[in-house]
Amino acid sequence: MIVHGRGISRGRGTGELLVSPAAISFLSGVDPDTGIIVEKGHPLEGESITGKVLAFPHGKGSTVGSYVLYALKRNKKAPAGIINTRADPIIAVGAIMGKIPMVDQPEKDIMQLRNGTCITVDGDTGTIEYDQDGIS
């Protein structure tokens, strides 16, 4: 199945889907050395984002979060791709700096996708591709 959205950061990335119903702060919310979400009480606390396609509504927090996304890429701990309901400047800039493919405004609700589904994010075409059985 192909879902259309808006391409934010160029490139193509494939990985297992990791969905968060909550916004993510990359500054102090994600460890740039391990790729693990460390924000206390976050629904994905303790989960690794490394090599995953990370889907979440939007970012939150300081603009330094952009540099954390860049550091994740430099440390080989970045997600394979990012899907946002609506991109904010912090996440968009970080994805672009880190060359992490990113799409936002998907025409289907990203929260209906099942964790572990193999997803391809194409920031060049603004598309998200997955098997039909990935829908909850």
Kindly report, residue by residue over 71-123, the tens digit of the pLDDT: 999 999 999 999 999 999 999 999 999 999 999 999 998 788 899 999 999 99
**In angstroms, what CA-CA distances link 14 with 50, 58, 63, 64, 100?**
12, 20, 26, 26, 11
For the question of whether the overall pTM of this predicted structure is more than 0.75, the answer is yes
- Rounded to whole angstroms, the Cα distance separating 26 from 5 reads 23
Give the model's pLDDT for residue 45. Answer: 98
Maximal C-alpha separation, the chain: 37
Give the model's pLDDT for residue 136. Answer: 54
Residues recognised as catalytic: 62
Q: Find out if CATH 3.50.30.10 is the number for domain 2-39+46-134.
A: yes
Query: Other CB atoms closer than 10 Å to residue 67's CB: what's the count?
Result: 19
For the stretch 10-50, pLDDT in tens is 999 999 999 999 999 999 999 999 999 999 999 999 999 99
Residues in CB range of 9: below 8 A, 6 or more apart:
82, 92, 95, 96, 99, 100, 101, 102, 123
Domains in the chain: boundaries: 2-39+46-134
